[in-house]
Amino acid sequence: MDAKNKQVKPANTVITYRTPIYLQLREIVRNRIEEGEYLPGMAIPSENELAETFGINRITVRNALDALVNEGMLQRVQGKGVFVLGNKYEEVLEEHGGFVPNLASGKATVSTKEQVKSLRPAGDKFANLFDIAPEDPIYFIRHLNLVGGEAASMEEIYVPQDICPQLDAVNTSVFPMRDVFAFYDVEMCSMRQSLEIIQGLSKTRKMLDVPDGVALIMMECTFRDKTGRVIEFSRSFFRGDRSSFRITLSDRP
């Protein structure tokens, strides 16, 4: 069997002490992903850590991971690490329409910071929204989105824990919620978005460093699954001077 075939059919590779080290490490990582030790959306140990753990060269680690990256099992994210990927949706809900924020004019880089990720009791309001008990746990996540290093928007996300218990392990600043849901087979079937212009709370304005006289755009999104159950609610605040939204219109059925 030549090297090319091994990449295509790795499962058949029999690992022995004579197998090259990089292939041995590749199978270790693959097994840990398949066994669920490394979950989709999670970063695996860094190349340096792996090199140290197994007493091998970093180049060897890199070689081992390359194939898994090419296979679509792992993804390298600049400055953040190597992440496990899961399933993808064949069809993304957003392709059907909806408001799309126009970020970054030109070459400015867009980045997301996960400021808060916590579990909290749903309380009366979210119990009603998600159709769960007030004491049931929900995730609360807050993201700060930066464009060219400056704050452009802030997003608050609420997801019931039972919808996606693995959210704990996932780095939500790397993957949008739609990807995370796809990883864990949570289907998004419909979405309602609304845009309103508001002044915003002083806390929010401070966080986004909004100049006086500039208004905010508040976007609320409700996502539902096939059964109509609400699986995610989010509320975002965009700086009015740095944001616009695009929407595709269509009268085709």
Under the rule (CB under 8 A), what is the footprint of another protein?
91, 93, 96-99, 102, 117-121, 123-126, 128, 137, 168, 189-201, 213, 215, 217-218, 240-241, 243-252
The phi and psi torsions of 220 (rounded to 5 degrees) equal -115, 135
Query: How far, in Å, CA of 30 to CA of 39, rounded?
Result: 11
Least separation in angstroms between residue 82's CB and another protein is: 24
Those residues with Cβ within 8 angstroms of residue 158's Cβ, 6 or more apart along the chain or in another chain? 126, 129, 130, 138, 139, 140, 141, 232, 233, 234
Helix or strand run (H / E) with residue 54: helix 47-54
Least separation in angstroms between residue 32's CB and another protein is: 24
> Which one, 110 or 189, has the nearer CB to another protein?
189
Query: How far, in Å, CA of 18 to CA of 113, rounded?
Result: 44
> Which one, 108 or 195, has the nearer CB to another protein?
195
Least separation in angstroms between residue 155's CB and another protein is: 16
Least separation in angstroms between residue 218's CB and another protein is: 7
Q: Which of 32, 224, 191, 4 is nearest to 97 (CA)?
A: 191
| Tokens 């595709």 belong to residue | 248
Least separation in angstroms between residue 219's CB and another protein is: 9
> Which one, 46 or 244, has the nearer CB to another protein?
244
> Which one, 73 or 101, has the nearer CB to another protein?
101
First to last CA, the chain: 52
CB half-sphere exposure, 111, CA atoms < 13 A? 11
> Which one, 110 or 197, has the nearer CB to another protein?
197
